[in-house]
Amino acid sequence: MKTRRNKRLWGAVRSLESLQPHANPRSNYPGSCLKCRTLLFQEWGLRLYQHIYIFSLYKKFFSDDDDEKCPLVPDENTNGFIYAKIFGGFEKIRSSICDLVTISRLLNATLVIPEIQQSTRSKGVSYKFKSFSYLYDEEQFIMLLKNDVNIVKSLPEYLKAARRRSEFPTFKPKNSASPDFYVKEVLPNLKKAKVVGLIVTDGGCLKSILPPSMSEFQRLRCRVAFHALQFRPEIQILGLRMVERLRASGQPFLAYHPGLVRDTLAYHGCAELFQDVHTELIQYRRAQLIKQGIINDELSVDSHSRRENGSCPLMPEEVGLLLRALGYPSKTIIYLAGSKTFGGQRLLIPLRALFGNLVDRTTLCSKTELSDLVGPEAPLPADIFRLPLPKSEQQLIDQWKKAGPRPRPLPPPPDRPIYQHEKEGWYAWILEKDKEPDPSPMEHRMQAHRLIWDALDYIVSVEADALFPGFNNDGSGWPDFSGLVIGQRLYERASSRTYRPDRKTIAALFNITRDDMYHPKRDWMLSVKEHLNRSLSEDGFFRQSLLSKPNSFLSHPLPECSCRIPSVETTKQIKGKDGRIVFGGEEECPKWMELARAEGARNDDMESAEDDNDTVEQLEPDSVDATSSLTSLIDHDEEWDPND
């Protein structure tokens, strides 16, 4: 049974409907002729328009003479080869690949398929995959960028031996490296040695905001991220199958990514928001970041003041209360993204109590489906935690004597109780040692697996009917999962329902009702609704551009990678403090795109009218198919009444 959606909760953002994806090269860029643009549309498989219809419109508005003006690019006689090693998780890998392609274009270099260090054979992954192909489709990547950059799978044989002997210059650029750095420092070495290596560790190797004269390089980033970087077919198929299962009941779903990552929590000093061993683990990691020079701050900080400043994540319980305040009923299907949530399942208990249909990949997929993605792997010994041998009385006396001077006669403080669950996890080392042990072979393998789980979550989150990020725009300078998802949703469907909460404002709201969070006053709920609904439109759009884009272009790829369909309402340009246009600076969409969109809108209206004849007039179903695995736990609460 089909159900009519509640537009208040699931409807598109009308003020952003005129924004359309438009990342193909403009007229002043090689590869922008009719032939090249037609190739791009045929190969990219744009979701918004039909290829045949677009091609017919192209012929109306562009003459065949355009084809003669554009030489096929890129030039086969490049300055040399660039090979790269990428360190980090899913977000850093995706952002770094886009930067590497852009740099290769800038330097007229041939890019060797980047090596993803987290999925190399040394990590114990299946023999079926190379490092890049463990996550992405190599053939599609090379083919879809053939009009922009020369890409090869490996260095020529005559250069491999020299690389093994480390004869080629290697650079370790920062994520804020400017184009001038590559032109002045890297290019001369590339022309001389014909090969240079890049080691990318910061989640990127090129600054996010480039001069207006380099807009085509920004659009190239978009073509890489949103078209060429396709997951390998097995991941793509299972991800779309998960979306189908989420929608099988006929209801929309919301994706939520907590963003609870140990490194980010340590960076911002959010240790006191956790309990037990997790606080100690965050502090240990923070001490490491201080020692490495990444953090210039004290080890112990007031986590609650950091939270009130918006530097710490929204906890799952808080997100659940915000969603209920918005009016989402408890039967709402919520997909929990994130391959790993620091703090474990315990943090999710309040959210599960508020929303019974909280699901993740393990709920939607069988163990066989997930193991098939990983491929055949050699067996490894299990990581069995063993408690250290108890020390003898003499050893304790000797340790006491060697400990050095201490404030006597005060006795040492009593040890806090050590719970059994703290002795059994990967983190048990912190109870007995001062140094974190090196990852075991099994842990290396699990890190590689998380890349696949993040890829599945990425597909589902991009396709979700609504998105609520728990921790993005964190200011660390590293790309984050929610930011990348928000960027792709903004590119593909700017009007999609994507919440962009201001954590500082939310913290202030929760401070008002901290003692009675589950029975807030009506004024509080109205304030929450007003803030979150405003975050969907221009206000959130503007804030996202100011906070997120300087750190990650892919989190806000506008106005460079979009165009605007002319509408009756005049869009005012909004500029940031640095003078750049953050809203309203999009070009007008080409005529063919306007006609194609109008044709698509007419088709949608016809389909909608047909659906209306078969749709039961109700906003939220009171009963659903009992055989659905997703709705078996649905309760029948209506929208949350604060007076209940």
Mean pLDDT for all residues in the chain: 79
Higher pLDDT, 32 or 99: 99
Tokens describing residue 416: 């806090």
The values of phi and psi at residue 583, to 5°, are: -155, 135
Q: How confident is the model at residue 428 (pLDDT cuts 50, 70, 90)?
A: low
Lowest pLDDT segment from 206-220, 476-490, 512-526, 617-631: 617-631
Lowest pLDDT segment from 74-88, 196-210, 238-252, 592-606: 592-606
Closest CA to 103 of 130, 83, 131: 83
DSSP H/E element including 486:
helix 481-492
Q: In the prediction, which pLDDT does 578 show?
A: 61
Read off the pLDDT of each residue in 599-615 and give the average, rounded to a whole number: 51
Q: In the prediction, which pLDDT does 620 show?
A: 42
Does residue 59 carry a pLDDT above 50? no
Lowest pLDDT segment from 33-47, 140-154, 175-189, 497-511: 33-47
Higher pLDDT, 41 or 287: 287
Q: In the prediction, which pLDDT does 16 show?
A: 87
- Round to whole Å and give the CA distance between 186 and 193: 11
Q: How confident is the model at residue 129 (pLDDT cuts 50, 70, 90)?
A: confident
Lowest pLDDT segment from 193-197, 259-263, 533-537, 580-584: 580-584
Closest CA to 97 of 151, 34, 47, 143: 151
Lowest pLDDT segment from 88-92, 118-122, 181-185, 242-246: 118-122
Read off the pLDDT of each residue in 293-310 and give the average, rounded to a whole number: 87
Q: How confident is the model at residue 2 (pLDDT cuts 50, 70, 90)?
A: low
Where do the H-state alpha helices sit in 520-590?
522-536, 538-547
Domains of the chain with CATH codes: 81-230 (3.40.50), 235-260+313-373+443-557 (no CATH), 563-601 (no CATH)
Q: What is the DSSP letter of 469?
A: E
Q: In the prediction, which pLDDT does 572 show?
A: 63
Read off the pLDDT of each residue in 587-614 and give the average, rounded to a whole number: 60
Lowest pLDDT segment from 5-14, 177-186, 494-503: 5-14
In the chain, pLDDT over 70 holds for what percent of residues?
74
Q: How confident is the model at residue 424 (pLDDT cuts 50, 70, 90)?
A: very low
Q: What pTM did the predictor assign?
A: 0.83
Read off the pLDDT of each residue in 594-616 and give the average, rounded to a whole number: 53
Q: In the prediction, which pLDDT does 68 show?
A: 43
Read off the pLDDT of each residue in 378-382 and give the average, rounded to a whole number: 74
- Round to whole Å and give the CA distance between 4 and 480: 34
Q: In the prediction, which pLDDT does 575 show?
A: 63
Any bridge partners for residue 83, and if so which?
A: 197
Given phi > 0 = left and psi -120 to 50 = alpha, else beta, which region is 329? Answer: beta
Q: Are strands 562-564 and 19-21 parallel, antiparallel or unpaired?
A: antiparallel
Lowest pLDDT segment from 463-472, 553-562, 581-590: 581-590
Q: In the prediction, which pLDDT does 274 show?
A: 82
Q: In the prediction, which pLDDT does 446 show?
A: 85
